[in-house]
Chains A and B, each alone.
Chain A
Amino acid sequence: MGEYELQVPFREGEIRRLKIKDAVYVTGEVLTIRDMAYERILSALDSNEPLPFNLQGKVIWHAGPITKQEGGKWKPVSVGSTTSSRFTAPASRLIEKMGVKMVIGKGFMGPEALRALEEYGAVYAHTTGGTAAYYANQIPEIQGVHWLDLGMPAAVWILKVHRLGPLIIAMDSYGKNLFDELQSKVDASLQQILKDLKIDPHHKYLWWP
């Protein structure tokens, strides 16, 4: 379990050095991307249209912030992660096609994302969910916003972060997923709980066939 200070853009080999359970602090540019922005990025990708921002070597954050305008400038209010598992497919494409090097979110992503991280040398970092007042303190500046027509939570916010973290590396570029380990432990506990309570582990309570 190492601890690393990372600066965006990353240096060569810096991401490959990271392993699951490492704690990292990120400084530099981070872009927020969530459901509707993914939809728009992928449709631009499919039709070969240019994007108003570049994702090569960048960090994306599954977050839908609360922001406010003060004296003509956007300020962060509360900024935290949204559930990442629903972005497994689109995040994998951004890693593959657009060169994203780090994805920040909460929870985990599926096997497709793990393969993309391994092949293209990127990582997935877990944040504590809901702690948006804490992370907002680590964002000194909002550099810009794209696609505000999608609404505040869905727009792409270009954040300048200072020591964002600690972020826990949950999926590394060696095909390791922290949650595989955690899930097998939980499954073993569940077996014991059900046995103690004399509950059939295969019984599902769905009414329809």
Chain B
Amino acid sequence: MIPKAQLTEVIIELLKRASIRLPRSVKEKLKEALLKEEEEITKHQLETILENISIAEAKKIPVCQDTGVPMYFLKVGRNWPANNEVAAAIAEGTAKATKLIPLRENVIHPLTKENSGTNTGWGMPFIYYEMIPEDFTEIQVLLKGFGSEAKTSLAYIPTSEDVIRGTIKFVLDCARKGFGEPCPPYIVGVGMGGTSDIAALLAKKAFLRLPLGKKNPDRAAAGLEEKLLEALNATGIGSMGMGGKTTALAVHVELCGTHSAAVPVVFALQCWADRQAAVRIHSKGTLEYLED
């Protein structure tokens, strides 16, 4: 176990990593996308994105002005003593990082619209907890910008119908409606099964799978990922909706068992600025920041 003050510093470091630099595999896929394009306006979108990524890394500033709301995923290992300091350290780290990096002061009261100025308050930061049978505890942070977040959608596909075709139709309808607004080339997270809330969480967890484009070990899910990626890129929506060959950098599908009547399917997007970071805290207190 590491002391609270040190844990706060770990959270600040995670937010720095997440807001300033992108995972290696995301940058690689963006570069690959540029090579495939021919239209000047589309190439320009991708060139600007790649130059922007370099500037952010060099100047150590947030890669996008919408640093989103931080989502925290805490996987609690065997030797992590149960205590209530973790949540406090995450909140303190979030508030300090907001001033230090700085992050945009995004978190508001949903009714009065009061801004706390710290990205905390009224239940934020929200932490998802999970128990894992390991000797380490892992903290993952995902910065969720709202241009892409606002396109999240839910459908129930009846099992009397072809669920694969139904999911493809639903995803294509969502992509058509969103067009260039959620900042393509984006990453698509599809959560299938459970109940609606489980499907929504799975769609978010899908973004945490690195390297980007790694297949789901479930063969049916992997097959659907491939079909969805092919269909999305055939639409020609392209970078920022300006037309082109790459609309999605990857599609990650996550599954959960569900009711025999209908499959809840949640469509979620992460913009090209796929900002995330993770750390493992080993039982003896050593830190291991994860890179893809």
Residues of A within 8 A of B (CB): 1, 21, 36, 63-66, 68, 77-80, 82-83, 85, 106-108, 126, 128-134, 136-137, 150-154, 166, 168, 179, 182-183, 185-187, 189-190, 192-194, 197-200, 203-207
Task: Tell me, rounded to whole Å, the shortest Cβ–Cβ distance linking A169 to chain B.
Answer: 11
How far, in angstroms, from A17 to B209 measured CA to CA in the complex? 48
Known: A186-B236, A189-B235. A131 touches B52 (CB 8 A): yes
How far, in angstroms, from A67 to B236 measured CA to CA in the complex? 36
Chain B 156-179 near chain A by CB (<8 Å), digits 1 or 0: 111000000110111011001001
Q: Which residue of A lies closest to B40 (CB)?
A: A1
Q: Which residue of A lies closest to B65 (CB)?
A: A132
Chain B 61-96 near chain A by CB (<8 Å), digits 1 or 0: 111111100000000000000000000000000000
Q: Determine if A66 and B235 form an interchain contact, defined as CB atoms under 8 angstroms apart.
A: no
How far, in angstroms, from A204 to B242 measured CA to CA in the complex? 26
Chain B 253-266 near chain A by CB (<8 Å), digits 1 or 0: 00000000010010
Q: Is the interface of B mostly helix, strand, loop or mixed?
A: mixed
Q: Determine if A106 and B235 form an interchain contact, defined as CB atoms under 8 angstroms apart.
A: no
Select the residue from B106, B166, B181 with max chain A CB neighbours within 10 A: B181
Q: Determine if B155 and A205 form an interchain contact, defined as CB atoms under 8 angstroms apart.
A: yes
Q: Determine if A205 and B156 form an interchain contact, defined as CB atoms under 8 angstroms apart.
A: yes
How far, in angstroms, from A151 to B102 measured CA to CA in the complex? 14
- Residues of A contacting B52 with CB < 8 Å? 128, 130-134
Q: Determine if B165 and A197 form an interchain contact, defined as CB atoms under 8 angstroms apart.
A: yes
Q: Determine if B172 and A151 form an interchain contact, defined as CB atoms under 8 angstroms apart.
A: no
Q: Which residue of A lies closest to B54 (CB)?
A: A133
B150 interface contact, C-beta 8 A:
yes
Q: Determine if B172 and A36 form an interchain contact, defined as CB atoms under 8 angstroms apart.
A: no
Q: Determine if A134 and B51 form an interchain contact, defined as CB atoms under 8 angstroms apart.
A: yes
How far, in angstroms, from A130 to B275 measured CA to CA in the complex? 12
How far, in angstroms, from A81 to B178 measured CA to CA in the complex? 16
Range of interface residues on chain B? 35 or more
Q: Determine if B165 and A132 form an interchain contact, defined as CB atoms under 8 angstroms apart.
A: no
Known: A128-B240, A193-B231. A151 touches B271 (CB 8 A): no
**Segment touching A, from B6-14, B41-49, B124-132, B280-288:** B41-49
Q: Determine if A132 and B173 form an interchain contact, defined as CB atoms under 8 angstroms apart.
A: no
Q: Which of B67, B105, B115, B241 contacts A179 (CB 8 A)?
A: B241
Known: A134-B52, A199-B169. A107 touches B61 (CB 8 A): no
Q: Determine if B183 and A129 form an interchain contact, defined as CB atoms under 8 angstroms apart.
A: yes
How far, in angstroms, from A111 to B150 measured CA to CA in the complex? 21
Q: Determine if B169 and A106 form an interchain contact, defined as CB atoms under 8 angstroms apart.
A: no
Q: Determine if B155 and A133 form an interchain contact, defined as CB atoms under 8 angstroms apart.
A: no
Q: Determine if B168 and A197 form an interchain contact, defined as CB atoms under 8 angstroms apart.
A: yes
Q: Which of B40, B106, B172, B243 contacts A193 (CB 8 A)?
A: B172
Q: Determine if A137 and B55 form an interchain contact, defined as CB atoms under 8 angstroms apart.
A: yes
Closest 3 pairs between A and B when the two form their complex, measured CB to CB: A151-B115, A131-B52, A132-B65
Q: Determine if A186 and B176 form an interchain contact, defined as CB atoms under 8 angstroms apart.
A: yes
Q: Determine if A152 and B41 form an interchain contact, defined as CB atoms under 8 angstroms apart.
A: no
How far, in angstroms, from A82 to B179 measured CA to CA in the complex? 14
- Residues of A contacting B56 with CB < 8 Å? 78, 133
Other A-B pairs beyond A21-B41, A68-B102, A205-B157, 20, CB < 8 Å: A77-B65, A78-B62, A79-B65, A80-B65, A106-B240, A128-B48, A130-B64, A130-B145, A130-B272, A130-B273, A131-B48, A133-B56, A133-B59, A150-B115, A151-B105, A153-B65, A168-B41, A189-B236, A192-B234, A197-B227
Q: 22 pairs across A/B with beta carbons < 8 Å?
A: A21-B41, A64-B66, A64-B104, A66-B67, A77-B62, A77-B65, A78-B61, A78-B62, A78-B65, A83-B147, A107-B180, A108-B179, A128-B49, A130-B183, A134-B55, A137-B55, A153-B65, A154-B115, A168-B41, A185-B243, A189-B234, A199-B165
